[in-house]
A and B are shown apart, each in its own frame.
Chain A
Amino acid sequence: MFKKALLALPVAMAVGVAGTAAQAEWQDPNDVLQKLLEAQPDSKYLHQSEMNIMMMPDNPALYLLDDGEELFYKERGPNNASLESCDFGKGEGVLEGAYVELPRYFEDTGKVMDFEMRLVHCMKEIQGFTSDDSAVSQRHGSGSDIMRLTTYIAHQSSGYAWNPPLDHPKEQAMRDAGEVLFFRRGGAMDFNCAACHGDSGKQIRASVLPEMRNSQEWTKAVSWPAHRAGQDNVRSQNHRIRGCIWQMRHAGILPDTPVNTALISYWNDAARGEPAILPDLKR
């Protein structure tokens, strides 16, 4: 405990000017959101849905936690193994604070992996699932194993500051490529990510968009898993990427591919130092 407080202090000082004290310890997602709202009373993005703010203590994503925990510890798959020996970067079975320190380089695969890629890797390697098994192939929706597991595991990092490691040269390379991808104009309609996320308080139709350079808007923007009220389902970072790229009229992105990883490396780096809302509730 004493150690944690010591760790928290410099982090809090570093972002203290911005108003939200990111901590190296767990915080309830609603508490994280409330502090962000207080820190940025004029953010149209953060304040756009009074209804969702009110609903936050009863976030439907929270209902996935028990199922996710059960799935994590249950002996499953052809190998009849639990996921307790899965290393998300902080050691086998260590979930606390792991989600906000992804993507990262993994020695065992020799590459930088984002969270979903790593989870699928463990389900295949440890539990023996194959791509054809619905446990792995079904990526989206509150009823999928992947989203239940994602919500449970991510929740163990709620309130921790985003802190994806950049010490390994491949981590830095993927983050930097992600930045290039973020600004790369392309597709049938010439869009890049910055078309929607480079300005403050802009709307696509009724949706107020988060600005990538405002790290307190951006931490909410990248805080997936989140229950999407309009879709009545819990969604992931990868689902958000797929949806954006679809709307941007680029090509159809496939799961478990490094374009996802590079973009997420850049996303999470852009939210660095700000506490994650896990799970979040979005419009």
Chain B
Amino acid sequence: MFNKNTVAAGVAAFASVALAAGCAVADGNKADDVDITAMSAEELAEHLIFETGSWRDQEMQEGGGWRDRMTQDEIQKACSFDSTRNDLDGEVAGRVVALAREQYQAPEGDIELGDWRKGAELADSGYGYRIGHNVDDHGTREAGGNCYNCHVMDSSVSVQGTIGPNLENYGAQRGDSQEIRQYVHQVISNPHQYFPCTQMPRFQGLLTEEQISHIMAYLLDPESPVNNR
């Protein structure tokens, strides 16, 4: 607890320093000292992100600073194509699946389900990892799964998102075998293993294994309201 408060205070201090620093950059109002027309669009985008003082100097919840948060990993790079005009390239898809399998850490032994009630709360929580003008403090409130933003899971609770597939009766239709649990754990942890360049986040690392086990219970436990729709 002491540790977390220290981090929170640090974040707050960072934020106020960043505000002052940000204004100084804005005040400078200097013309670009580089020729932006000599760059490709991709180069200019990276230049704008990393070299123009566009971000607050804050410590991210996962550690590191804005530069770490904004630096792309290989999967993010591979998936940054115009999905409204181009289909996913087969070679890229294969590479992304391989990268995702490499990143994924399988649990040891059998996978146990957690508490579906806790899973329901996590699925409904959009808290966590937001930074900038309003910082999510993981020291006072745990990060959630954001599931309801994109998936209908229990339409009796609230209006839910449609960016991802409807998951009502997910477990009722598939059962609750170890194979199914392994698959669901893989998809929640790193969905690119099955759906390369999906819009869904990789939750391994964002949520704890315990939190993931609760969300899995919400999806798979026969008692869960998700499976009694």
Binding site for B on A (CB under 8 A): 109-111, 120-121, 124, 130-132, 137, 169-170, 172-174, 176-177, 179-181, 183-192, 194-196, 198-199, 201-206, 212-213, 242, 245-247, 249-260, 262
Bound Cα distance from A251 to B22, whole angstroms? 13
Bound Cα distance from A246 to B202, whole angstroms? 18
Q: A198 touching B131 by the CB < 8 A rule?
A: no
Bound Cα distance from A212 to B82, whole angstroms? 11
Q: A184 touching B26 by the CB < 8 A rule?
A: no
- In the assembled complex, how far is the CB of residue B205 from the closest CB belonging to chain A, in whole angstroms? 9
Q: B52 touching A257 by the CB < 8 A rule?
A: yes
Q: Which residue of B lies closest to A179 (CB)?
A: B41
Q: A204 touching B80 by the CB < 8 A rule?
A: no
B76 CB contacts on chain A under 8 angstroms? 184-186, 190
Q: Which of B66, B84, B163 contacts A212 (CB 8 A)?
A: B84
A258 CB contacts on chain B under 8 angstroms? 48, 52, 54
Bound Cα distance from A200 to B192, whole angstroms? 23
Q: A198 touching B201 by the CB < 8 A rule?
A: no
Q: B26 touching A256 by the CB < 8 A rule?
A: yes
Q: A177 touching B48 by the CB < 8 A rule?
A: yes
Q: A252 touching B133 by the CB < 8 A rule?
A: yes
Q: Which of B18, B80, B159, B161 contacts A192 (CB 8 A)?
A: B80
Known: A187-B70, A254-B56, A262-B44. 20 other contacts (CB 8 A): A124-B29, A132-B23, A172-B37, A185-B72, A185-B76, A188-B60, A188-B61, A188-B201, A190-B202, A202-B162, A204-B149, A205-B161, A206-B159, A246-B133, A249-B129, A252-B132, A253-B132, A254-B26, A257-B52, A257-B53
Q: Which residue of A lies closest to B134 (CB)?
A: A246
Known: A183-B83, A185-B76. A202 touches B70 (CB 8 A): no
Q: Which residue of B lies closest to A171 (CB)?
A: B37
Closest 8 CB pairs of A and B: A252-B132, A110-B31, A251-B66, A257-B54, A252-B56, A189-B201, A176-B41, A180-B45
Q: B84 touching A194 by the CB < 8 A rule?
A: yes
Q: B150 touching A204 by the CB < 8 A rule?
A: yes
Q: B161 touching A186 by the CB < 8 A rule?
A: no
Q: A250 touching B44 by the CB < 8 A rule?
A: no
Q: B201 touching A262 by the CB < 8 A rule?
A: no
A254 CB contacts on chain B under 8 angstroms? 22, 25-26, 53-56
Contact with A along B161-204 (1 / 0, CB 8 A): 11100000000000000000000000000000000000101100
Q: Which of A190, A253, A262 contacts B45 (CB 8 A)?
A: A262
Contact with A along B29-68 (1 / 0, CB 8 A): 1011000110101101100110011111010111000100
- In the assembled complex, how far is the CB of residue A243 from the closest CB belonging to chain B, in whole angstroms? 9
A203 CB contacts on chain B under 8 angstroms? 159-163
Q: A131 touching B162 by the CB < 8 A rule?
A: no
Q: List 19 A-B contacts (CB under 8 A).
A: A110-B32, A131-B23, A131-B26, A137-B23, A174-B44, A180-B45, A181-B48, A185-B76, A185-B77, A195-B199, A199-B163, A242-B132, A246-B130, A246-B132, A249-B129, A249-B130, A249-B131, A252-B58, A257-B52
Within 8 A of A (CB), among B76-93: 76-77, 79-84
Bound Cα distance from A181 to B81, whole angstroms? 10
